[in-house]
Structure 1
Amino acid sequence: MKKITILILTVFSINIYSQEIETENWITDLNFLKTELPKKHKNLFFKITKNEFENGIEKIIKQLDKDTDIETSMKLHQLIAKIGDSHTSLSTSHITQKRKVFPVDFMWFKEGLFISGTTKDNYEILDKKILSINGNKINTILDSLKTLNVAENTALIKTNSSRLLESNVILKYFGFSKQNDSIYNLELSDIKGNISHYKLMEVENDINFKKNKTFLKINAEKPFYRNGSGKNFKEEYFPNEKIYFIQYNKCVSRETIEKYGDKETAYKYPSFNEFEEKVLKTLETSEIDKLIFDMRFNGGGSSYLAENLIDKIAANNKLNKKGKLFVVVGNDTFSSAIFNTIYFKDKTNAIIIGEETSGKPNHYGYVKSFTLPYSEIKVRYSSEFWKLTEDNDVSIVPDVKIENSYNDYKNGIDPVFEYVKKN
């Protein structure tokens, strides 16, 4: 199997009002993009036609005299999304002049989209499900946000929309808030269905804002999969249940950075070789009835990194059985984590559990990039196509679907762990 280098979903932030790039410079950049992207991409026109792409560029050029830089950038994002390749994207964060922000974080549960973070003086909106913003139903807003990213599957839509919804600039671009308004009228619901309304103000995006944030609280210690989920990888043995839980959050390590990245910064990353050695020792010395390999937060990296460990797990005759080995995927499982999931399916008897993945089994990837000369927008594009299965599924659908509910999260329960423990 070929190896795939790091790829992480691009999340961009946008600023309204700025218009600093000259029209002629935009024209140069857009024509450069029109010429170079088709030459560099593995197969740019597998979904959109060449005429549609070129006409899209020309349409943006015709609006340059009346559009701001941010409006041009947004239209460009929408055009790139039409290409249909979730690994081809733009980085426009440098265009942002960070001023005020919409002070909310969102989290998806099976019951809907909830507010998971905000400023301390708005604490009462925490735990609430968002129904509408300024009279616009949340589904209507999400339909607009879908145009900014490739909407290959439900998981990818969820992953991208919850991030984009946090941008006041994007809400203004689509007309869900007026340009000069700094107050948002929210319609909210608690878990019991009680409706409430709240006026939320924009805040300055500065160090005080970051210090002043508060997040959804849970009634018990965070479940293992959430506690330290920002780590690249971690493990824990639960002796009472005889369950070994391995969480693989990023296909990135000291070894991959030394091979593909900036060698001088490699020391800052954890060593997967050391982690693997610890895992194999635990597998050898501990009494383990069931093994959970969790990739529900894994957005990509280098697929080769975990393959040796997967091979060792596959060779473990005690654990490589139905009902003994479980691989967890979710809405954030993408890119190289898809490779590893397919590798598990091919090499082991693992049961795949969790939620549908945002990554497709067969997809364009092996990302390279170039930069537009004047706007300095970084363009990431796919240089290879990966065919991992004979089917053309838009997602990996788990053998057993287990969604994360609001009440489970609040009570510190991991439904995946509970399922494995009981079955």
Structure 2
Amino acid sequence: MTKNQPFFRQTMLLIGLLFISMSIQAQATFTSEQYREDLRFLQQTVHKNFPFLFKKTTAEAFDAKVEALYEAIPRMADHEVLVGFNKIVASFEYGHTVLGYWEGVIPYHEMPIVLYQYDDGIFLQGVHKSYKEALGAKLLAIEGMPIEEVLKLMRPVVPAENESFVKAYGIHYLTFPEFLHAQKVLKTMSTSVLLTLEKDGRQFEQRIEAVPFERFPRQYGMVVPGEDWLEARDLSTTPLYLKNLDKIYYYEYLPEHKTVYVRHSQIMDDSIQAIPEFYAEVFDFIDKNEVEKLILDVRLNGGGNNYKNKPIVTGVIANKKINQPGKFMVIIGRRTFSACQNLVNELHTYTNAIFIGEPTAENINFYGDNSPVTLPNTKMNAYLSFAWWQDKPQWENRPALDPQIATGMTFEQYRTNQDPALEAAMASMGSDFITNPMNYFTQLFTSGKAELIKPEAARMLKDPSYKFFDFEAEFNKAGYAMMSSKQFDEALFIFNLNTELFPDSANAWDSLAEAWWKLGDSTKAKEFYQKAIELDPEGETAVHAREMLQKIVEATKQ
């Protein structure tokens, strides 16, 4: 980022494109003292210039990690130090805040495979031709360690905002032997890694020889097939979201559905047509033709320059033909990130968009726009975010923008070119589909139909379309809102409802106990606090419940 462009969004994608063409440097020899000096420099720089990053972690926790690494460095190999630094930077849990490991100051290797995590597991979506038999196989274990355990061990190295980010961008860390070894997945460091795979009902082992890191032919996280690389998908046809990937965006009219489909995969101007001209053409087509629905597909969009979002948002707002409930559908996913997170935030706030697919890869409000901090000895770069993007009020901040209609994808659906998200977007909205459940429940309550809330909530809980809507948390929040406004009867109704819908939730019972305590009924409060303790005897909820029980005992003695 240059000084005359203070707000230009640097994304992971752009950083990768900037540095990936750099050749891997010959391995330099650094002493433990040099690594330690770099670590202290990083620590001091964070405290001096980036203290605002202590949002999801604390300064104390950060310093504790630094001290642990500082003490361990003399016993560590170079690649272990690399991963150690990587984890320190990743601990801030912002996707733009990342160590530039790809720059190759400390060389590492990569297995020539491309992984993708589908609803039914992690599969080898692409492979080098040398491993043709492994193409399309499900990954069960690495060096005998079950993949579930591998994922847990590798999680700390990923600078992840949320679990969608891990699926999209963190999955590739599983192909780096040095990272696998540093995280104790590999018992000894080796560039030859044994995978346990399953394909066509048969389980087998495949040894993969990693190569010095290079830019494999990948686009939006998936392999680009060619002479040396193979793709698991049936290439005889191409689903819309993978068509014309040589273009940043394109649109297509689907006459049988009276729908315009737009796939937009970077917030950047295409060399063929700039964003304002492209969307002017799209909306002009919508106005002049028999169009009943617009589908905007940004599931592959990793961001770019959020100043280019305006023509998209204002274009939708101005188009009365499209900006209606059920007429404008937005497909989001695990790669929706950075400037595209800003875009979907704005569409969520200002339009009648219905979101379909998977949660986005970024928090709704987040730190972006990073600056390189070059470590003095190794010259490794830590890219630390400095710009806080707050598109929503702080009480609306969430780990991700969740879809109102949840869809996933199995490997077989991918292999056979099915697209559940697009199918859901093209389908007619059923009369029983509720885009905003809490508004709906509020309307039932205020219109004297409170008895319908429980069966309706129970129905939605069984519907996979609502899988990302946190009913328990939303009811709990509504209950506390009632309590804060002294509407205790209403609060009791909501908290009781939550315990009926979620009888195994310690937090639901804890909240109900608190409501009774505020009403002055210590008997019921003690009963429900005890219930919370029974359900979560070692957890934070039990700690709070025990503290409250002690307060009740002390209060009754007075």
How many angstroms does 1:316 deviate by? 0.9
- State yes or no: 1:275 paired with 2:284: no
Alignment of 1:17-416 (within 5 A): 20-41=29-50, 43-95=52-104, 101-179=110-188, 181-190=190-199, 194-205=201-212, 212-218=228-234, 220-229=236-245, 231-253=247-269, 271-389=274-392, 390-416=395-421
Structure whose residues are more often helix by fraction: 2
> Per the alignment, in what secondary structure is the counterpart of residue 165 of structure 1?
helix
Per the alignment, do residues 153 and 94 of structure 1 end up closer, same or farther by CA in structure 2, a change over 3 Å counting?
A: closer
Per the alignment, do residues 112 and 270 of structure 1 end up closer, same or farther by CA in structure 2, a change over 3 Å counting?
A: farther
Residue deviations 1:121-162, cap 9 Å, x none?
321211211111121000111111111124442212212332
Distance across 2 between alignment mates of 1:108 and 1:64: 33
Structure 2 equivalent of residue 261 of structure 1 = none
Match of 2:12 among 1, 4, 8: 8
TM-score (ref. length: structure 2): 0.67
Q: Which amino acid aligns with 1:409?
A: Y
How many angstroms does 1:116 deviate by? 0.7
> Per the alignment, in what secondary structure is the counterpart of residue 361 of structure 1?
coil
Structure with the larger RCO, 1 or 2 (CA within 8 Å, 6+ apart): 1
Distance across 2 between alignment mates of 1:208 and 1:380: 20
> Per the alignment, in what secondary structure is the counterpart of residue 239 of structure 2?
coil
Query: Any unmatched runs of 5+ in structure 2?
Result: 1-5, 218-226, 429-558
Per the alignment, do residues 147 and 88 of structure 1 end up closer, same or farther by CA in structure 2, a change over 3 Å counting?
A: same
Distance across 1 between alignment mates of 2:10 and 2:268: 7
Per the alignment, do residues 71 and 203 of structure 1 end up closer, same or farther by CA in structure 2, a change over 3 Å counting?
A: closer
Distance across 1 between alignment mates of 2:301 and 2:329: 16
Query: Any unmatched runs of 5+ in structure 1?
Result: 255-267
Structure whose residues are more often strand by fraction: 1
Number of equivalenced pairs: 405
Per the alignment, do residues 151 and 277 of structure 1 end up closer, same or farther by CA in structure 2, a change over 3 Å counting?
A: closer
Which sits farther off after the overlay, 93-102 or 393-402? 93-102
Contact map agreement 1:183 1:199 (CA 8 A) in 2? no
> Per the alignment, in what secondary structure is the counterpart of residue 369 of structure 1?
strand
> Per the alignment, in what secondary structure is the counterpart of residue 263 of structure 2?
strand
How many angstroms does 1:209 deviate by? 8.5
Distance across 1 between alignment mates of 2:214 and 2:74: 36
Distance across 1 between alignment mates of 2:216 and 2:387: 41
Per the alignment, do residues 269 and 175 of structure 1 end up closer, same or farther by CA in structure 2, a change over 3 Å counting?
A: farther
Per the alignment, do residues 89 and 117 of structure 1 end up closer, same or farther by CA in structure 2, a change over 3 Å counting?
A: same
Per the alignment, do residues 169 and 66 of structure 1 end up closer, same or farther by CA in structure 2, a change over 3 Å counting?
A: same
Q: Which amino acid aligns with 1:354?
A: G
Distance across 1 between alignment mates of 2:214 and 2:90: 33
Contact map agreement 2:96 2:383 (CA 8 A) in 1? yes
Residue deviations 1:72-102, cap 9 Å, x none?
1211111222223332211022335667532
Distance across 1 between alignment mates of 2:191 and 2:104: 21
How many angstroms does 1:42 deviate by? 5.8
Per the alignment, do residues 209 and 351 of structure 1 end up closer, same or farther by CA in structure 2, a change over 3 Å counting?
A: closer
Which sits farther off after the overlay, 405-414 or 130-139? 405-414
Which sits farther off after the overlay, 353-362 or 307-316? 307-316
Query: Larger Rg: 1 or 2?
Result: 2
Identity of matched residues, %: 24
Which sits farther off after the overlay, 392-401 or 88-97? 88-97
> Per the alignment, in what secondary structure is the counterpart of residue 397 of structure 1?
coil
> Per the alignment, in what secondary structure is the counterpart of residue 294 of structure 2?
strand
Per the alignment, do residues 152 and 8 of structure 1 end up closer, same or farther by CA in structure 2, a change over 3 Å counting?
A: closer
